[in-house]
Structure 1
């Protein structure tokens, strides 16, 4: 079997020798050069399975190498060699298309892990496997709208490298599902996928949860415990609701991501970790940075590539297909027949805004299956709020705050939305008063979810 080949480009002789010896012990054939010109000649003469390049070179920079390889041999992963702590250079390299980066001084254990992952990726791409198989998504990411086709295409690209990805989107759109697909379609698929809700961990336990602790390091630490970073070794760590991290934890997380190492509470040594970071939140991280609630340096580190998952109201054509999939899943779970939507029910669902997105659609259909007679679901079984069940895909004009004015006649120019809003506001206020302002009880009276009620209170300006 022919040995796999690696090209090393660095103007420091010591680095070239270190990588040549280390990679040679992994049964890899290594060519090492010190300039962009020599690298261009080497790349013109043969195809490599992997490339390492320094950022700063005597006659150019590593970004030129990344762009050249992307153009001439796109199946070759490129890893950038950066100076210690140079986060800006690493982020620039990842955005330019680098597979990953390694910091000087080079950690041999981390280097070997990176090489194994990169070579596995290169082999999958040559064999036509990995993220490029369109059929892999069919049963998981439902919908054929242009928006979802774009999401699939982006996932396929993101699965090919190790750049941190920030997944943006409203609550309920399926951000964790997207993160799982990025993991499963990439070279880390055989490793663990560890999701963590950052808002669900008490602040005082965060460091122990993320980095682990040693026995006796604090009261109650009766045994060694590995953290989430160690649990995700060789795989992916998904930080959901990352905006909920307190500032002191943001500092520690930034260091762990930059140095690719963690130190357990009570531990003396840092432990190298080979983990890909994916993160998500429904909040506007850029706005939180401006308000001083989220560190800018961490924001740039986790937001190397942003993937926006569209809300359901922006892909209404997917609602029938999604509904069918959910009803099939409910039937399998509950052991009953598959629910069938009437024409009126389908029309009502396609007209609804879904402030809770796919998660809300699941709740609506599960409730409808419980309430309908037999297996036929009519529009009334859906119990959709009147306000948002309308054919226009555009959001209604924001109603004025305060007490509702006298309702205009339905159909008057510009008056229909106000008329419906006033009816809805009156019904909500009445339900709140009757339930002594218990929002959960009020939502039950109105036949809507607590999330939907909270959305409407904000939308209608009811305090």
Structure 2
């Protein structure tokens, strides 16, 4: 049973709304003002908040702001008079799910509450990160390739174009999909993810399109599919190459016509969904082999984004290390640091598992570390062996001592960072030094070391 909190300073309105919602099987709590509402939210699990816009002390807008900050997973519906619609629209911009105007009927209220409950379910189980993490998921790294990817994301996010993301396992394809969605006009609507490789072939159709009650044995209730859940939002099809051939034609129809029928259903359902697909395979080769429909391939591949492996963007490794250490220090309540010798090893490694492998390794080493310091003792033996065997440099570099080789890499990264900070600061050495956490004198010495000028490019 879903629990609804009604907030209104008019007793009659609270009583009417409570009676209407209880008839629909909802559990209802009520509050006469924003202060009471916040106290109830603190002590009870609430699924949806319905609040009047105009109230004394804490009004609906202020209550919305506090709920968004303290309970971002709870959808808020605003109640307003016809003359306050402009204010209600402003509330939508600040995070309200929807608004209803007085007087309203039961069907309108039921529809809005149903949408709110669906949104709450999605936020608990389908959306990728709580709001405080969204800004941090931006593409982490300082390499030229990463900056180019981020620029592409910003451009394509503003469109409704279908996107195909390709790259090895663990390169961050899902992060790119999330970044596109949360930088798009659809960011306040659902982002639904489905791993096509993890779904049995016999269940694929019902997962994507849903099913009607009685469609097959065990279908005791009607269920919405991923396309319906993603209406007005984004559907992320991960490992899209794994979709069975016979399902591909049905997927093509939805992409072309934005409509489908549930399994066992006759009613055509219209949807507005943006598609982002991802794969670690070469889909054009799958087309040539007859495993993937050519027409579907071209429908999905309207705007391709290729994510390079981590070994091709070594400059991103240390920023990623810093990011993951900060993440796990907070998550595990630790204050672990990394010995510079370990950084050298991480820079030399080839990362066949890419960013995911790096993240898992950082968490493992932090848990194994002693005295809040990760040393080479925590680095897995197999990783050290792989580093020893790897040939990652030209022949003349491979003859250099290990520390000398790594020092050269680190110095190259540092000089590129100095150039970038100077460019962003318009050649102002003081501001560039602040960006890098250095004193002005310290930065000047490094500029002399690398023979850099204020206008270095």
Please give the TM-score of this superposition, normalised by the length of structure 2.
Answer: 0.55
Question: Residues 215 and 318 of structure 1: is their aligned pair in 2 closer, same or farther, counting only changes over 3 Å?
Answer: same
In the alignment, does 2:137 pair up with 1:144? no
1:310 pairs, out of 308, 312, 327, with 308
Question: Residues 341 and 394 of structure 1: is their aligned pair in 2 closer, same or farther, counting only changes over 3 Å?
Answer: same
What pairs with 1:26-37 in structure 2 (closer than 5 Å)? none
In the alignment, does 2:231 pair up with 1:233? yes
Query: How far is 1:375 from its partner?
Result: 1.3
Distance 2:392 2:290 in 1: 35
- 2:371 corresponds in structure 1 to 374
Q: Once the two structures are superposed, what CA deviation does each residue of 1:221-250 show, in whole Å capped at 9, x if it has no partner?
A: 101111100000000000000011110111
Query: How far is 1:372 from its partner?
Result: 2.0
**SS, match of residue 277 in structure 1:** strand
2:293 pairs, out of 281, 291, 295, with 295
Distance 1:395 1:255 in 2: 51
Q: Is the 2:283–2:292 Cα contact (8 Å) retained in structure 1?
A: yes
What pairs with 1:60-459 in structure 2 (closer than 5 Å)? 140-337=138-335, 339-383=336-380, 384-388=383-387, 393=392
**SS, match of residue 307 in structure 1:** strand
Distance 1:215 1:394 in 2: 62
Please give the TM-score of this superposition, normalised by the length of structure 1.
Answer: 0.54
**SS, match of residue 171 in structure 1:** coil
Q: Is the 1:260–1:272 Cα contact (8 Å) retained in structure 2?
A: yes
Question: Residues 225 and 268 of structure 1: is their aligned pair in 2 closer, same or farther, counting only changes over 3 Å?
Answer: same
Q: Once the two structures are superposed, what CA deviation does each residue of 1:109-149 show, in whole Å capped at 9, x if it has no partner?
A: xxxxxxxxxxxxxxxxxxxxxxxxxxx86653211110110
Distance 1:164 1:394 in 2: 39
**SS, match of residue 211 in structure 2:** coil
- Structure (1/2) with the larger helix percentage: 2
Aligned length: 262
Unaligned 5+ runs, structure 2: 1-133, 400-457
Query: How far is 1:278 from its partner?
Result: 0.2
Distance 1:372 1:216 in 2: 55
CA RMSD between the two structures: 2.0
Unaligned 5+ runs, structure 1: 1-135, 397-409, 412-463
Q: Is the 2:137–2:175 Cα contact (8 Å) retained in structure 1?
A: no
